A and B are shown apart, each in its own frame.
Chain A
Amino acid sequence: MVGPGAGGGAPLENANPLIYRRSGERPVTAREEDDELPDSIDDREIFDLIRTINDPEHPLTLEELNVVEQVRVKVNDAESTVAVEFTPTIPHCSMATLIGLSIKVKLIRSLPERFKLDVHITPGTHASEHAVNKQLADKERVAAALENSHLLEVVNQCLSARS
C-alpha cells in the first residue's frame, strides 16, 4: 500500500533522522568538454539522477537521508543494465514503495530506452522487503500505479526540483 501520509498534521514516523552530507556537483572535466571523445554512462551519472529526489516525508533529498548511495548503484553501459539498491531509513517505513516508485520513474524518464532497470531494497533493511521488491519489479503494477493521477502527482512532487 502506498499513500501520501506525510501532509497535514500527522506525526512523522521518524522525526529526527540522521542526515548525511550532500556530494557536490560533479566537476566538469576537460575530457567532457572535448567534442570528440564519448563519455560512457557510469555509476556516478545514475547516482546524480536519483540523489536529488525528495523524500516524501522530509524536506530532504534521498542522498541526505542516505537512502541511496553511489556504491549501491551498478551500471553496465555495454549491456544496458542498471541496478539500484535503496535503504529505507527505518525497517518499517511505509514510504518504501513510494520511494522505490519515484526512483524507478525518474530513471525511466531519464535513461535511453535500451536500459533494463532493476530497483530494489537493500537486502535486510526492511520488514516487508520481499513484497516491496515484487511490487517494484512488476511492470504492469508500476504502469497501473502511474495511471492513478493522485499517485502520479505525489511522485512528481518528489521528482520536482527543490524551490
Chain B
Amino acid sequence: CLENTDPRTRGRGIQLLSQVLLQCYSLLQEKEVLHLVLFYENRLQDHHLVIPSVLQGLRALSMCEVLSPGLAVSVLKAIFQEVHVQSLLQLDRHTVYSIITNFMGSREEELKGLGADFTFGFIQVMDGEKDPRNLLVAFQIVRDLITKNYALGPFVEELFEVTSCYFPIDFTPPPNDPHGIQREDLILSLRAVLSSTPQFAEFLLPLLIEKMDSDLQSAKLDSLQTLTACCAIYGQKELQEFLPSLWSSLRREVFQTASEKVETECLTALHALSVCLSRSVVSSDTEDLLDSFLSNILQDCRHHLCEPDMKLVWPSAKLLQAAAGASLRAYNCITRSVLPLLLEQYTKHPQSSQRRTILEMLLGFLELKQKWGHVEEDESTLLSLQAPVCSVVFSALTDPSVQLQLVGIRALTVLGSLQGFLSPSDLELVVDHLIRLALHEEDSQSSKAAMEAAGSLAPIYPKVFSGRMVPRLEEELQSGREEESSRDHCSLQQRCLQALAAVSTHTSIVRDTVPVLLQHLRKVQKGSEARNAQDVVSVCQSLHRVALQCQQDVEGCWYYHQTVVPCLLATAVQAAMQESTHPLLGKVLLEEEVLAAMVPVISAATTHLSPELAAQSASHVVPLFLDGEVSFLPQNSFPCSFQPFEAGESLEAQRRLVALLMAFVCSLPHNVAIPQQERLLQELLALSCSCNCPFTATTAAKCFAGLVNKHPEGQQLDEILQLAVNRMEPSLVEGPRRTQALTLLLWVTKALVLRYHPLSSHLTDKLLGLLGDSELGPAVADGFFLLMAESPDVLHKGCHANVRIMFRQRFFTDNVPKLVQGFHAAGPGVKANYLKALSHVLNHLPKPVLVTELPTLLSLLLEALSCSDRVVQLSTLSCLQPLLLEAPQIMSLHIDTLVTKFLGLTSSPTMAVRIAALRCAHALTSLPVTVLLPYKARVIRALAKPLDDKKRLVRKEAVAARGEW
C-alpha cells in the first residue's frame, strides 16, 4: 500500500511504518537505517497529505544511535529543501523542531560541517512561527546555535530579526490551557536568546532603547531586564555607541515613573551597565568609557542633590548610588564629587528635615562602602573626609529632631563597621554619645536605636565598650539609691538594664555585664516595696536578652549557664525558705509574674548547651528538687531543708519553684538523660493532681507534659501514662480537684498530640466528651486554644520538644468531624462550647488547608456568627475574612446570609467584634461584582451608621469598608 495511487492510503501506510519505527528505533541496524532514511527522504517529495507521517518517521530515525555519518546532514538538507515548514500544522512543525534538536544533540560535528547553510536553513524553518509551544523549542535551538558556536556566517542579522520580532513578548495563555505555558516562560527563553551573544548588540540595543519609551509597562520592564542580562556578557565595545541614549532613557524613567517596579529595574540596569564598564580593561590610548559615563551621570544628577525639598532629589541619589555600587573604581569616582557636595549642603541647610534628607543620602553612600570592606591606602576620598563626616554625624546626634537623630545613629553604625575609619578618640566620643542617647534621650525610639547601635558596634570594639560603657552603666544603676521614689530614676534604671543587655553582644562584654545584672537582682530582691517585683521582672528580661545573644557561642553560653542558673536558683530557694520563718520578707521572688519572668531566662540558658554540659548541669539541678541537695548553690547555708515535693502547708512557697525546675528540665536537649526521671515524673504527677494552688498545679502539669513529650517510646512511658490516666479519670468525674485534673489532661494531651502518640486520640475523645459537661465545658473549649497554639515556655521547637510537622492538620482531620457531630447532638446550653472549640482549631490551621475544607464547615461557621458568645463571633469573623479573599466563588453562594450577619454585627457592643465585622464587610468587596451589585445600596446605607461610631478605630474600618463599596 506504500505504492498505492491514492495519497490517503499511502499516507496511512507510511503512518503505520512510522508508528512501528517510533516504538523500535533503538533496535535497528545501521544498514536498515540507511535504507529507511533514503526511503523517507525520497517520500518528502510526495503528496502533502503524506508529509506529516514522513516527518514522524524521520523523527524516529533521528533518535537512532546507529545513524551512519552524513545521513543527518542529508536529512536536514532534504527537509530544508522540500518542506515548507510554516505551512504545516502545529504538531508537524513541532516534529521538525524535534528532528533538528535530536540531530543537534547527537551529531553536532556533522552539522557544524554544514557551516552557515544550517543556520540559514533553520532561519527559514522558524520564520513566521506563531505557536508558543513551538517557539519555546525554537528559542532553545537558537540559543544552542549561538552558545555551541555554530557558524552564523553572514546571517547574524537575519537570526536576530527572526527572534527579536517577538520582543517584547505579548502573550496571555488562554484560560484552561492544558499546556501550561506561561508568559514568563516565553519571556525568559527569548531573553536567553537575545542576551546570548555580543554579536546581537548593534541590533538589540536600539530595539531596547525604543521599547523603553513604550507606553506599556510590561514592555519597559522586559527591556530593562533584558538590558541587565546583556550587560553580563557585553563589553565596552558593544555599549560605547549607545551609552548616551541608554542613560537618557534610564534617567527619564527614574525621574518620571510612578511605578516602583520600573524604578527598581532601571536602577538594576544602570548598576549592570556600570559593572560592565568597570570590568573591561582600559587601554591607554582610548578614553575611559566608565569615566565619561559616570561624569555624564554626575552632571545630570548633581544639581538635584542641592535641593533637598524637591521631588527629584531621591531619584538622583538612587541613580548615583546604583552607579557607584558597581565597583570600587566607580565608587571612588562618584564619591570624590558627591561626598564633599553633600557635606557642604548639610552645613548650608539648617532645617532638620532637609538635613535629614542629606544625611540619609550620605548614609546610602557610606553603606555602599561596606561592600568592599577594608581597602588600603588608595581609598583616600573617604579617609580625607573623615573629620567632616564625623562632625556632621555627631551634629546630627545632638540635634533635637528625633528623625535626624535616628539617621545619625544609623550612620554611626555604618561608620563604626568601616574598619580603621574611626580614630580611638572618635570612638570614645561615639560611645559617650551612645550612652547619652540610650539613657537620657527622652524619645524612646532614639534611645532604642542607640542601644541597638551599641549592640552592633560592641563586637567590633569590645575593649572600648566594656572599658567605657559598662562601668558607666553600672555606676548609673547603683547611683540612684538616694532619690529612690522619683519616676525619672525608675525609668533611668530600666534604660540602664536594657542598655546592659543590648551591649552584651560579645563574650568578653557578657562576662562584665552578667555579674552587674545579677548583683542588681540581689539588691532589688532585698528591698520590700511593691514596685520591686517590676524591677526584678525587668532584670530578668535583660538577662533573657543576654541569654539569647550568647546562645550561639558555646563558651559564652556555658559561662552564662554556670553563672546565672545557680544564682537564680539560690536566690529563689533562699527566698522560699525565708518565707517559712519570716513570712513578710523575700516574697518578691515568689510572685507569679517574677517566676514567670525567670522561666525564659533559665530556658534560654539551657537550650543551646551541648549534651555533655547539659547532663552535668542536670545532675545538680534535679537532686536539688528531689533530695534538697543544695551543695552546688552559692551561699548554700540555709536554715531548713528544701523539699518542694513533700506534703505540708508550710512548704507551699517551695513548691512554687517547680516553675524553675520546669524551665530547666523541659529545655534540655533530646538526648540528655535526666537522672531519676521516673521518680521525678511520679512526684510531678502527684503534685499536679493534689496541689490547691492553681499556679503550682499548672506548672507541675506543664513540666510533666514536657518530660512525657520527650520520653523515649517503650514500656516505661506506657506505664507512666497509664498511671497518669488512672489518677486523672476519677478526679475528672467528680470531686474538688476537677479543674486541676482537666489542666493535667489538657497538657498531657498536647504533649502526645505533638508527637503523634497513639494514646492521644483516646485523650482527645475524653476532651470532646467533656465539652458537653455543663461545669467544665467552657474551660475545655478554651483548652482547645491551648492544644493548637504555640506555648511560650514548654513544648515548642525551641526547647527541643518532639513536635511533628502538620500535627495541626492531623488533629483537624481526626477531630473536626467528631466536633461537628457533637455539636449537632449537644443540648442547647452547651452548643456554644463546640463552636468555640471548633473556631479555636480553625483559627490555628494554615489558610490553604482551611480553604479546601471550607464547603463542609461553612454552614456551621455561619451558625457560629449568630452565637452570642463574642469570642466565638470574633474568631469566626477572623476565620471568614481570609476565606472571603481567597475563595470568593464558594462564599458568593452565601452572600445573602453573610451580608445580613456582618451588618448585624457592626452594631455589636464589643469594639473588637465591630471592627472584625467591618473588616469582613470590606473583604466582601473581593467577591465578583455581579454578586455584589444587588446589595450595594443596602450595604452603603448600613455602613453609614458605624461612620458615626463612638470609637475612632471602628470609624477607621468603616471608612475603609464604605469607601471600597
B963:A32 contact, CB within 8 angstroms = no
Complex interface bits, B94-118 against A, C-beta within 8 A gives 1, otherwise 0? 0000000000000000000000000
Instruction: Say if the beta carbon of A112 comes within 8 Å of chain B.
Output: yes
B952: which A residues are within 8 A, CB to CB? 32, 39, 41, 45
A110 touches B962 (CB 8 A): yes
Interface residue from A20, A28, A39, A110 paired with B947 (Cβ < 8 Å): A110
Is there an interface contact between A49 and B959, defined as CB atoms closer than 8 Å?
yes
Which chain B positions have C-beta within 8 A of A3?
Answer: none
In the complex, which residues of chain A have a beta carbon less than 8 angstroms from the beta carbon of B169?
none
Dominant secondary structure of chain A at its interface with chain B = loop
Is the Cβ of B962 less than 8 Å from the Cβ of A109?
A: yes
B944 partner, pick from A20, A38, A60, A113, beta carbons under 8 A? A113
B407 to chain A, nearest CB (A): 13
Closest to A49 in B: B959
Task: Return the CB mask of B898-934 against A: 1 if under 8 Å, else 0.
Answer: 0000000000001100000000000000000000000
CA distance A49 to B959 in the complex (A): 8
- Complex CA–CA separation, A35 to B910 (angstroms): 7
Is A111 among interface residues, defined by CB-CB distance under 8 A? yes
B800 on interface, CB distance cutoff 8 Å: no
B953 and A110 within 8 A (CB): no
Interface status of B481 (Cβ within 8 A of chain A): no
A18 sits at the interface (CB 8 A): yes
| CB < 8 Å neighbour of B311 from A35, A60, A159 | A60
Q: How far is the CB of B894 from chain A (nearest CB, A)?
A: 27
Q: Is B309 in contact with chain A by the CB < 8 A criterion? A: yes
Contacts of B948 in A (CB 8 A): 112, 114
Task: For the complex, give the distance between the alpha carbons of A114 and B955 in Å.
Answer: 15
A159 contacts B963, CB within 8 Å?
yes
CA distance A143 to B285 in the complex (A): 72
A35 to B914, CA, bound (A): 11
State in angstroms the CA–CA spacing of A41 and B944 once bound together.
Answer: 15
> Cβ of B311 and Cβ of A32 under 8 Å apart?
no
Shortest beta-carbon distance from A2 to chain B in Å: 21
CB-CB contacts below 8 Å: A29-56 with B: 32-33, 35, 38-39, 41, 45, 48-49
What's the nearest-Cβ distance from chain B to residue A11, in Å? 11
Interface residue A148 (Cβ < 8 Å from any Cβ of B): no
Looking at chain B's contact residues, the main secondary structure is: helix
Looking at the assembled complex, report how far the CB atom of B448 sits from the nearest CB atom of chain A, in whole angstroms: 15
Alpha-carbon separation in the docked complex, A24 to B312 (Å): 22
Interface residue? B353 (CB, 8 A): yes
Q: Are B311 and A19 in contact (CB under 8 A)?
A: yes
Q: Does A58 contact B (CB under 8 A)?
A: yes
A21 touches B (CB below 8 Å): yes
Quick one: closest A residue to B951, CB to CB?
A39
Closest to B910 in A: A35
**Chain A residues whose CB sits within 8 angstroms of the CB of B311 once the complex forms:** 16-19, 58, 60
Distance (whole angstroms) from the CB of B509 to the closest CB of chain A: 34
Answer whether A19 and B310 are a contact pair too, CB < 8 Å, given A28-B953, A59-B258. Answer: yes
Contacting pair B911 A35 (CB below 8 A) = yes
> What is the distance, in angstroms, from A76's C-beta to the closest C-beta of chain B?
15
In the complex, which residues of chain B have a beta carbon less than 8 angstroms from the beta carbon of A59? 257-258
Known: A35-B911, A114-B948. A21 touches B353 (CB 8 A): yes
Residues on the A chain within 8 Å of B962, using CB: 109-110
**Any chain A CB within 8 A of the CB of B950?**
yes
* Cβ contacts under 8 Å, A60 to chain B: 311
Q: Which residues of A contact B959 (CB under 8 A)?
A: 49, 109-110
Residues of B with C-beta under 8 A to A106? 963
Which B residues from 349 to 365 make CB contacts under 8 A with A?
A: 353
Q: In the complex, A32→B951 CA distance in Å?
A: 7
Q: Which residues of B contact A19 (CB under 8 A)?
A: 309-311
A100 to chain B, nearest CB (A): 18
Alpha-carbon separation in the docked complex, A113 to B257 (Å): 39
Cα-based distance from A38 to B951 in the complex (angstroms): 6
Query: Chain B: which residue is nearest A17 at the CB level?
Result: B311
Residues in A neighbouring B947, C-beta threshold 8 A: 110-112
Once the chains are docked, how many angstroms separate the CA of A58 from the CA of B255?
11
Per the bound structure, the CA–CA distance linking A109 and B952 in Å amounts to 16
CA A55 – CA B481 in complex, angstroms?
A: 58
Choice from B312, B911, B944 contacting A16 with Cβ under 8 Å: B312
Contact B955 A16 (CB under 8 A): no
Chain B residue nearest to A18 (CB atoms) is: B309
Q: Give chain A residues whose Cβ lies under 8 Å from the Cβ of B956.
A: 48
How far apart sit A112 and B950, CA to CA, in the bound complex (Å)? 12
**With the chains together, A80 CA to B622 CA distance in Å?**
70
**What's the Cα separation between A45 and B948 when bound, in Å?**
12
Interfacial residues of chain B within 552-581, with CB under 8 A of chain A in the complex: none
> CA A2 – CA B911 in complex, angstroms?
42
CA distance A106 to B963 in the complex (A): 8
Query: In the assembled complex, which residues on chain B have CB atoms less than 8 Å from the CB atom of A18?
Result: 309-311
Q: In the docked arrangement, what's the CA distance between A35 and B913, Å?
A: 11
Chain B residue nearest in CB terms to A65: B311
Report the nearest A residue to B307, measured CB to CB: A16
Q: Can you show 14 pairs from A to B with CB atoms below 8 A apart?
A: A16-B310, A17-B310, A18-B310, A19-B310, A33-B953, A38-B951, A39-B951, A106-B963, A109-B959, A109-B962, A110-B959, A110-B962, A111-B947, A113-B944
Q: Lowest 10 A-B CB distances belong to which pairs?
A: A59-B258, A38-B950, A112-B948, A39-B952, A110-B959, A35-B911, A112-B947, A19-B311, A18-B309, A16-B312
Question: Given A58-B311, A60-B311, list of 16 further CB < 8 A pairs?
Answer: A17-B311, A21-B353, A28-B953, A38-B951, A39-B951, A41-B952, A41-B955, A45-B952, A49-B959, A59-B258, A109-B962, A110-B947, A110-B962, A110-B963, A113-B944, A114-B948
